[in-house]
Amino acid sequence: MKVFVHKVFQLFKWPTLFIYLNIIWVIFCAVGLMLFGFFPATIGLYTVVRKWVMGEREIPIWETFWHSYTTNFLRNGLMSAVSLLAGYALLVELNIFWSQENGLYYGISLAVIATFILYTIIMIYFFPLYVHYDSTMGQYIKMSMIMGIIHPFVTVGLLLLVVVFYLVFWTVPLLFILFGISVPAFIIMKVAYTKFPSDDKL
């Protein structure tokens, strides 16, 4: 009976932890009015999943997230706003160009698409690198681009993962509240961790 209860507990333990972490992320993104809270909250979330990936499964989630969030709020709040606004501007430009019936606009839209893909690649690798290494913002961005280029199959796989999760969560918004960032972040961190340079610094 004890074995059965233990197995049932383990079966529900991790989904519950992912839901808990995801809800914390949503709340603290909102606390930072999304624009200023996205980076600190996402860094906090990745700090937790990094420890899970490295085998530290019994860490205090709230304390770990809170310490990371408060540490990074002032440091990265402005970076968060600038990055999100840049991504939004790229999406707006794409919609504008695609709505024009002109070959020149379609040509420009290809450049915008390429820029948006590069932006997405940087965002995918940035957070795993940020929570794992102690370096400068420029180095994180540079290394994110390098990793995206030298691991093309991994990068394409992660991009497809992001697209699939986006489509699923767009279809069922409740799933985003429950698993929308915690599960993709865990997968991205787990995959990226295997490709990290062996050096202690970037």
pLDDT at 59: 93
Q: What digits encode the pLDDT tens for the residues 116-152?
A: 899 999 999 999 999 999 988 999 999 999 999 999 9
Please report the pLDDT score of residue 93 as a whole number: 80
The reported pLDDT for the residue numbered 176 is 86
Q: Give the pLDDT score at 1.
A: 58
Tokens of 82: 């600038």
pLDDT for res 7? 58
| Structure confidence at residue 185 (pLDDT) | 95
CA distance 107 to 92: 16
pLDDT value of position 103: 63
Residue spans per domain, the chain: 2-193
pTM: 0.90
For the chain, list residues with pLDDT below 50: 4-6
Q: Which amino acid is at 196?
A: F
The C-alpha atoms of residue 182 and residue 109 are separated, in whole angstroms, by 32
Q: What is the pLDDT of residue 123?
A: 94
What is the pLDDT at residue 53?
95
Instruction: Write the CA distances from 40 to 71, 72, 91, 150, integer angstroms.
Output: 8, 5, 23, 28
